[in-house]
Structure 1
Amino acid sequence: MAWVYLLECADGALYVGSTRDLDQRLADHATGCADSYTERRRPVRLVWQLETEHIGDAYAIEQQLKGWRRAKKRALIDGRLDALPALSRARSRAQPGAQG
């Protein structure tokens, strides 16, 4: 099994990651050993996670989420899944050729 996850950093930034061992990865983020981005923005807290069968699936979702604007990530975190399509369209209209 594998995981894709979103962390909220102390400065409000959102961090997207994927891993095979979520508990260990969260511990690494908490101690500053996981990533230089989150190391400078501790403490961090887990705000969303999704378990997948394969790490490749988790990585693909991670890459997709990294392309999302903050508002769309926030809707996902808040469980407002019905808002996701509209947030995608809003970006497409604002930036021709962009995908959300």
Structure 2
Amino acid sequence: MQRDFDPTVYILASHRNGTLYVGVTSNLLQRLYQHRSGLIDGFAKDYGIQRLVWFQSGGSMEEAIRREKQIKKWNRPWKINLIEQANPDWRDLAVDLGFDPLESRRIDGAP
């Protein structure tokens, strides 16, 4: 049986070592589109946080929400460690999911 949703916890970043946003969704592709298109008002939109740097799918929505709340309580170095274990270069994983690369907004030209 095909599922209409896939509970996913995700972390977006403004850039490498930049501002982080932790979220949960039942449809990661749709949520990424919403973030990248500026359709969701709030923290991520206000701070230009659109780069997908980590995500974890599977389980129930209750489990995903529990994991999101857990990660939100972590201190910044723990979140950075989680990202860098799976994505040491802070690549925008949304590109692997079919999204266009984001333009860098950093003044120093760093990715």
Question: Please, what TM-score do these two structures have when normalized by structure 2?
Answer: 0.66
Conservation of the 8 A alpha-carbon contact between 2:54 and 2:83: yes
Deviation at 1:31, TM superposition (A): 1.3
**Which residue is 2:25 aligned to?**
19
Cross-structure match for 2:54:
48
Regions of 4+ moved over 4 Å = none
CA contact (8 A) 2:10 2:54 kept: yes
Provide the alpha-carbon RMSD of the alignment.
Answer: 1.7
Q: Pick the aligned partner of 2:11 from 6, 9, 30.
A: 6
Structure 1 residue aligned with 2:76, among 70, 75, 78?
A: 70
State the alpha-carbon separation in 1 of the partners of residues 57 and 48 from structure 2: 24
Which residue number corresponds to residue 101 of structure 2?
Answer: none
2:13–2:21 CA contact under 8 A, matched in 1? yes
Please report the TM-score for the alignment, with normalisation by the length of structure 1: 0.73
How much does 1:43 deviate?
A: 4.9
**Aligned sequence identity (%):** 36
Unaligned runs of 5+ in 1: 81-100
How many positions carry a matched residue from both structures?
A: 80
